[in-house]
Structure 1
Amino acid sequence: AVSGCLSATEQPSVYGNETEATEYQGIELTPISNQGNNAIKGTHYIDRDTYRLQIDGLVETPVNLTYNQILEYPSTSKVLDLNCVEGWGFTAKWTGVLVETLFNVTGINENATTVIFYSADGYSTSHDLDYLLDNNIMVAYKINDVTLPPDRGFPLQLVAEDKYGYKWGKWITQIQITNTGYKGYWETRGYSNKADVGGPPFE
Structure 2
Amino acid sequence: MMGKKLGKLYILFGVAALGIGLAGGPAHALGITPSTSGVIPGSSLTPATGPANCEPGCVYRAFGLPNDGSLSLLYKAGQGTIVSETGLFATSYTTKFNSDASGASITFDGTGLAISCPSCYLAVKDGIHAPTYYFFNLSSWNGTETINLSGFWPGAGSISQVSIWGTRTAGVPEPSSLLLLGSGLAGIGMWRRKASKI
Normalised TM-score (structure 2): 0.25
Larger helix fraction of residues: 2
Q: Which is higher, the Rg of structure 1 or of structure 2?
A: 2
Larger strand fraction of residues: 1
